Amino acid sequence: MATYQNGSPTTIIGPPTSGDRVLNEFWRDALGGEWVCTAAGTPGTWQQVRPAAVVTDPSTGTIPTGYLVWNVSDGAIKRHVGAYSWEITVGATAAARRSVSTA
């Protein structure tokens, strides 16, 4: 499900990868992760300020390494480590707790 940026839908997971960007610009990606531009440019430098709330760990699409999700099903905040693998950084139910989970 796409979110909207300036009235246009986006299917990008993570910050924008093209276009001129300005300092402190806000971006909400397709999964609801929120980003702020910390250095203007093309495409700028971005910091994730809110993880995407998901019910399952994303397992499709282009996901940037370091992307944060809050898995509301198991209570964990997870960081993408590549190849659809997720490292639990905070929380999780006992069943979901392990160093790296794969979707």
Residue that finishes a domain, picked among 9, 33, 50: 50
The pLDDT confidence band at residue 97, using thresholds 50, 70 and 90, is: low
Do 38 and 56 share a domain, yes or no? no
Q: Determine the average pLDDT of the residues in 38-47.
A: 96
Residue 68 structural domain: 51-103
* 3 and 43 together in one domain: yes
* 51-93 pLDDT tens trace: 999 999 999 889 999 999 999 988 889 999 998 899 887 766 5
Tell me, yes or no, whether 66 and 40 share the same domain: no
Provide the pLDDT for residue 84. Answer: 86
Closest CA to 53 of 70, 28, 77: 70
Q: What is the pLDDT of residues 14-29, one digit of tens each?
A: 999 999 999 999 999 9
Residue after which a domain boundary falls, among 32, 50, 68: 50
One domain for residues 66 and 99: yes
Q: How many helices (H) and strands (E) does the chain have?
A: 0, 10
Task: Please state, in angstroms and rounded to a whole number, the distance separating the CA atoms of residues 102 and 8.
Answer: 32
- In this structure, how many other beta carbons lie within 10 angstroms of the beta carbon of residue 13? 19
| pLDDT of res. 20 | 93
Residues sharing a CB contact under 8 Å with residue 1, sequence separation 6 or more, in sequence order: 30
Instruction: Dig out the tokens for 27 from the structure.
Output: 């971006």
